[in-house]
Amino acid sequence: MGTHCCGVSVLGEGMPAGSDPHAETSCKPVGRVLMQTPLMLTLRDVTKTFNARTLFSGANMTVNYAERVALVGPNGAGKSTLFSLILKKDEPDAGEVVRDEWTTLGYLPQESEPVGEETILDVATGKAGLIESLEVILREHEARGDVSAPEYNEAHAQHDALNDPQAEAKCKKILKGFGFKEEDFDKPAREYSGGWVMRAHLARLLVIEPDLLLLDEPTNHLDLLSLMWFRNYLKNYPGAILLISHDRDFMDELIETVYEIEESKLIQYQGNYSEYLKKKEENWERSYQAWKNQQKEIEAMQEFIDRFRSVASKASQAQSRERQLEKMEKLDRPRPLRKAFRFNFPQPPRSGQRVIALTDIHQAYGEKKIYQGLDLDVEKGERTVLVGPNGSGKSTLIKIMAGEIPFQKGERRFGTNVKMGYFSQHRADTLDPECTILEELKRCAPELREDDARSILGSFLFKREDVYKRCKVLSGGEKSRLNLVKFLVDPPNLLLMDEPTTHLDIWGIEGLILALQKFEGTLVFISHDVHFIRSLATKVLHINSGVVTPFSGGYDYYLEKTGAEENARAAVIAQ
């Protein structure tokens, strides 16, 4: 039944210089109280190979009670494999994963399993099969007299949490925080998208309140309002959190420790994501300078050796330096830091001042009215983000602008010399199924050099031989990324984008931000990535129940004027 909450102890780490990776306690702030706390999870000298590739070699890591930890690294680095080791779904080739036997663990995967006839509330309260499966575990252990096993303790804790008299009331409050309405609770979960079902699974985890939460991209399916609520909820969460995420702002607000998977090691950085980036760059600069200094020293020694090897009065000194050089521990040149890809994308032709105008728009799906008499003008050069709760009409509005859906009444007019392009992660029909990725890109930008084309594709996660895949075999995410690249190399002057960052990693998002910051056309977009919005939006349209309210400023201006952040915090406190 969708998400599991299995009994797991805790996880280990790459320790900072000078610390003891095998220490059993650490000093940890909990609320305003500083207390001695046991390590919840430790990885000690873990090695793991997958498909003849070493993901980890001698990797160490720890998670302490109530700590907020992010796990970062490029796609394919081994983040999900590490979660599998912690969950005991897989075993390391060497080393050990040591878990405190009294620690309960909850896991949210990226995708939930299919649901049947159970209601949203059944999923969120565990009545959709989870309580029954926990009772089976309890009976089996009790029959064997094995009531001290970690699995029994885990099942007991979850069962108690879900059967608490206050559990259903707490669950309903959490579901509302995630954007569900009262009338949604008793509807079959199968009527909802996978993203909404995932929210119900996440609500169940928060009701159980495990000591350690493992969250794999938990913000993917949340709109901005539910994301703000969730972030504030986690700030007050009593347990520890281990997180995989591509949402930079979310990590900056929540995380206090970052572990990066790099060259088969787990490297620890104290601080949030932005502090991690700064410290990583500082470490690289020190390593590079040390390597450069050693290279100069080696060159000077080699020059002395070559110059005086055959000079009788200096031969012994030359031999001594030669021996010294042989014994020297040579530093490796540090690998270049990964940076967001920069490319001078072509600029679109200029449009007239008014780019698109919607007048007296009426739109409905059957009996459900979305817009009644909507008027909206978009001006040249504006970068407008559409915000509002899921189901408020954001995607409908952008589809009306793009001509993707009909409206019952009203008029849509484009301005002078407007070339419109619509990007959606669900649009794959523009790709030629028989073309390779590289051919498809060259088809819309024939003047693009192959080296540049491959570099651009690489920055959007199409590596090496991937560029020769035919479009017909691509996944939905790969098709979405390829369509995105096509827009960048041949941009329209009106770009409509619906969740463009969904299938990108952090560096892909940064590269897209850099490209769109230089874009001289007009941009209207929907996104739940706050860093992306803050970097681009110059205007906000708040949409709710068919009412569109403009805010002529960036995202922080919108938050200030609406008090959205304060409302999200107040909603959590009210719990």
pLDDT in tens, 89-146: 999 999 999 988 888 899 998 777 767 788 999 999 988 778 888 888 888 888 888 8
From 291, 308, 327, give the residue that closes a domain.
327
Kindly state whether residues 388 and 250 are assigned to the same domain.
Answer: no
pLDDT at 147 over 90: no
Kindly state whether residues 299 and 253 are assigned to the same domain.
Answer: no
Long-range contacts of 301-306 (CB under 8 A, 24+ apart): 301/325
pLDDT at 511 over 90: no
Mean pLDDT of the chain: 86
Q: How far is 456 from 490, CA to CA, in rounded Å?
A: 13
Give the model's pLDDT for residue 450.
85
Q: How far is 120 from 550, CA to CA, in rounded Å?
A: 34
Kindly state whether residues 72 and 109 are assigned to the same domain.
Answer: yes
Kindly state whether residues 114 and 188 are assigned to the same domain.
Answer: yes
pLDDT in tens, 51-80: 888 999 999 999 999 999 999 988 778 999
Kindly state whether residues 309 and 373 are assigned to the same domain.
Answer: no
Q: How many domains are there within the chain?
A: 3
pLDDT at 17 over 60: no
pLDDT at 182 over 60: yes
Structural domain contains residue 128: yes
Considering only residues 573 and 219, tell me which one the structure prediction assigns the higher pLDDT: 219
Kindly state whether residues 374 and 388 are assigned to the same domain.
Answer: yes
Average pLDDT over residues 398-423: 93
From 233, 254, 271, give the residue that closes a domain.
271
Give 103's contacts (C-beta < 8 A, 6+ positions apart). Answer: 8, 9, 10, 40, 41, 211, 212
pLDDT at 571 over 70: no
Q: Which helix (H) or strand (E) holds 304?
A: helix 273-308
Listed range (237-251, 438-452, 505-519) with the worst mean pLDDT: 438-452
pLDDT at 22 over 70: no
Kindly state whether residues 98 and 40 are assigned to the same domain.
Answer: yes
Give the model's pLDDT for residue 34.
36
Residue 385: give its domain's CATH number: 3.40.50.300
Give 152's contacts (C-beta < 8 A, 6+ positions apart). Answer: 137, 138, 141, 142, 146
Q: Are strands 212-216 and 494-498 parallel, antiparallel or unpaired?
A: unpaired
CA-nearest of 362, 401, 371, 364 to 545 is 371
Give the model's pLDDT for residue 18.
33
Q: Which domain holds residue 316?
A: 275-327
Average pLDDT over residues 202-209: 93
pLDDT in tens, 521-568: 999 999 999 999 999 999 999 998 889 999 999 999 999 998 877 777
From 256, 271, 286, give the residue that closes a domain.
271
Structural domain contains residue 337: no
Cβ(12)–Cβ(60) below 8 Å: yes
Structural domain contains residue 311: yes
Radius of gyration in angstroms for the set of CA atoms belonging to the chain, rounded to a whole number = 28
Highest mean pLDDT among 319-328, 436-445, 478-487: 319-328
Structural domain contains residue 409: yes
Average pLDDT over residues 371-392: 92
Structural domain contains residue 335: no
Kindly state whether residues 74 and 136 are assigned to the same domain.
Answer: yes
Give the model's pLDDT for residue 385.
97
Considering only residues 216 and 465, tell me which one the structure prediction assigns the higher pLDDT: 216
Kindly state whether residues 260 and 299 are assigned to the same domain.
Answer: no
Kindly state whether residues 207 and 62 are assigned to the same domain.
Answer: yes
Q: State in Å, rounded, how far the first CA of the chain is from the last one.
A: 27
Binned at pLDDT 50, 70 and 90, residue 3 comes out as: very low
Kindly state whether residues 116 and 75 are assigned to the same domain.
Answer: yes
Give the model's pLDDT for residue 29.
36
Kindly state whether residues 411 and 280 are assigned to the same domain.
Answer: no
Considering only residues 109 and 256, tell me which one the structure prediction assigns the higher pLDDT: 256
Give 543's contacts (C-beta < 8 A, 6+ positions apart). Answer: 386, 387, 388, 392, 393, 394, 397, 549
Q: What share of the chain has pLDDT > 70, as a percent?
A: 91
